[in-house]
Amino acid sequence: MLEGSEVKSLRAGRATITDAFAADKEGELYLFNAYIPEHDSSRQVNYEPKRARKLLMHHREIAKLLAAVNRKGMTLVALGIYFNERGLAKVDLGLARGKQHQDKRADIKDRDWKRDKARLMRDKG
């Protein structure tokens, strides 16, 4: 559910959803951490740019997604925002699984090796 000036900001392409995710709040799905800045020429009362926004979905869709989220390590991540042919703002949601412990260790190892390699190249080359 968006305010009028939020839609204007979305149409201007000023929204950021890099850290946005959807979660359950009182049996409904809400979008958290989506940053939609205030529109400059809006006469409307200003709103909080990072407020939780209710996602309008059918109850069966909500139940299906919440069942998947309640499984171990699953989360709903916002992939994109677009306007459909009727002009309504839609959010693409993806079901993602968190990293396992061994995956994190491999990433840390790769990051450390890249940092050491860059340091060696800088010192020797």
Res 31: pLDDT: 94
Segments of the chain with pLDDT less than 50: none
What is the rounded distance in angstroms from the CA atom of residue 123 to the CA atom of residue 125?
A: 6
pLDDT attached to residue 45: 64
- In the DSSP assignment, the letter for residue 116 is H
Question: Does a structural domain hold residue 71?
Answer: yes
Backbone angles phi, psi at 12, to 5 degrees: -80, -5
Token pair listed for 43: 């006469």
> Does residue 94 fall inside a structural domain?
yes
| Residue ranges making up the domain that contains 91 | 4-98
List the CATH number of the domain containing 77: 2.40.280.10
Q: Is residue 47 one of the residues assigned to a domain?
A: yes
pTM of the model: 0.73
Q: Is residue 122 part of a domain?
A: no
pLDDT of residue 63: 92
* Residue 38: predicted pLDDT: 83
